């Protein structure tokens, strides 16, 4: 039975997702230009940088400069990504970001090794230490995340039962440290999800843990991003990660031309036409998508920045 929500919450990840895969050639000032433009669209959460090894991800070598340079807008939370305690320390030192503690486990051992050079036992053991570090800095821990929850380019399909078990591990780790997770993200990091798989995995997690809200982090590498998002909406999912103009991709996912998250403006158009509230000004967002394409100097996969919104078309037609 469809459970389509009346309101969705979008976490914009384009600046981080996009600029991390574009290498070191994007000027810091232009990254800041895009962040400031996105701040005027009604988006309430923008992830702007990764605090990662600049040798491995040169596109994030200027993370501190980007954080120091953007202009905060009222009502917008600005976030960064970190993979370990060193990255978290850099985020804390920036003193300009909205810091939310997150626990992360992987459904693929091979991808964990590629992405963080850890074994599953090492990743599991690192989570309580992260919680204590969050607590030392008064950072709330309310979110968990399962990476490669729908499949992996190194290991193949991931069983839904495994994802359910990992969600249980995340909840147990938090509880053992006196914390309670409120939101758990399921990441389709390498674009193995299909609409039926989204509904099967989400449904099984919802059945096992009905009090936990879920979010979806969907990549569009195989062209199924919006279809998968729609399947998530049908399951009542309200939280989605997205990237303006379809920016981005994971540099360690083992496929060339890896697309970023679902395109923010394409997703907002779909929600608008379905009567789902997003709080986002689509016309301003389309301008941001065109700006992103100008900054990078090559075509980006988003469609609505080319075709325009249906609302604008209706206005031109006098409808």
CA distance 319 to 313: 9
| Residue 260 confidence (pLDDT) | 81
Q: Which of 5-9, 87-91, 172-176, 196-200 has the lowest mean pLDDT?
A: 87-91
**Percentage of residues in the chain with pLDDT exceeding 70?**
96
Q: Is residue 3 part of a domain?
A: no
Task: Note whether residue 2 is domain-resident.
Answer: no
Domain count, the chain: 1
Query: Can you give the pLDDT at residue 84?
Result: 81
Nearest to 37 by CA among 294, 316, 309: 294
Region 132-138 average pLDDT: 92
Residues noted as catalytic: 250
Evaluate whether residue 4 is within a structural domain.
Answer: no
Q: Give domain status of residue 75, yes or no.
A: yes
So what's the pLDDT on residue 22? 84
Query: Per DSSP, what are the bridge partners of residue 185?
Result: 145, 215
Is the residue at 113 inside a domain?
A: yes
What is the C-alpha separation between 304 and 246, in angstroms, rounded?
11
Residues 114-124, mean pLDDT to the nearest whole number = 92
Q: What would the mean pLDDT of 288-311 be, rounded to a whole number?
A: 95
| Maximal CA-CA distance, the chain | 62
Q: Residue 255: its pLDDT value, please?
A: 44
**Across 55-79, average pLDDT:** 96
Q: What angle do CA 11, 13, 17 make, to 5 degrees?
A: 160
Domain membership flag for residue 80: yes
Show the domain range for 307: 9-317
Residue 173's domain is classified under what CATH number?
3.20.20.70
Average pLDDT over residues 75-103: 93
Per-position DSSP letters for the chain, written without gaps between them: -----SB-EEEE-HHHHHHHHSGGGS-HHHHHHHHHHHTTTT-SEEEEEEES-TTT-GGGTTHHHHHHH----TT-EEEEEESSHHHHHHHHHH--S---EEEEEES-HHHHHHHHS--HHHHHHHHHHHHHHHHHTT--EEEEEEET-S-BTTTB---HHHHHHHHHHHHHHHHHTT----EEEEEETTS---HHHHHHHHHHHHHH-TTSEEEEEEB-TTS-HHHHHHHHHHTT--EEEEBGGG----TTSS-TT---BPBHHHHHHHHHHHT-B----HHHHHHHHHHHHHHHTS--S-SHHHH--HHHHHHHHT-
pTM of the model: 0.94
- The least confident of 17-26, 86-95, 167-176, 181-190 is 17-26
């Amino acid at each position: 039975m469809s459970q389509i929500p009346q309101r969705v919450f979008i976490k914009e990840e384009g600046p981080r997702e996009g600029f991390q895969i574009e290498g070191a050639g994007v000027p810091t000032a232009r990254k800041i230009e895009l962040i400031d433009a996105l701040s005027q669209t009604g988006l309430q959460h923008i992830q702007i940088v990764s605090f990662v090894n600049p040798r491995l991800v040169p596109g994030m070598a200027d993370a501190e400069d980007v954080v120091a340079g953007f202009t905060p807008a009222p009502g917008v939370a600005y976030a960064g990504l970190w993979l370990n305690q060193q990255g978290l320390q850099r985020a804390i030192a920036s003193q300009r970001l909205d810091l939310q503690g997150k626990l992360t486990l992987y459904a693929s051992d091979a991808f964990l090794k590629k992405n963080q050079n850890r074994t599953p036992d090492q990743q599991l053991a690192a989570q309580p230490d992260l919680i204590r570090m969050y607590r030392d800095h008064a950072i709330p821990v309310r979110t968990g995340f399962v990476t490669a929850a729908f499949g992996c380019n190194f290991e193949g399909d991931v069983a839904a039962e495994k994802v359910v078990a990992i969600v249980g591990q995340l909840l147990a780790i938090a509880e053992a440290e006196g914390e309670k997770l409120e939101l758990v993200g399921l990441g389709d990091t390498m674009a193995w999800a299909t609409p039926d798989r989204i509904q099967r995995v989400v449904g099984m997690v919802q059945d096992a843990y009905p009090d936990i809200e879920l979010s979806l982090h969907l990549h569009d590498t195989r062209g199924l991003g919006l279809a998968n998002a729609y399947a998530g909406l049908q399951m009542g999912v309200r939280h989605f990660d997205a990237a303006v103009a379809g920016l981005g991709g994971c540099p360690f996912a083992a496929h060339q031309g890896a697309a970023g998250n679902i395109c923010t403006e394409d997703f907002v158009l779909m929600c608008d036409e379905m009567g789902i509230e997003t709080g986002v000004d689509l016309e301003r967002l389309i301008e941001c998508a065109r700006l992103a394409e100008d900054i990078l100097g090559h075509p980006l996969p988003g469609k609505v920045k080319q075709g325009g919104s249906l609302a604008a078309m209706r206005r031109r037609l006098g409808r």
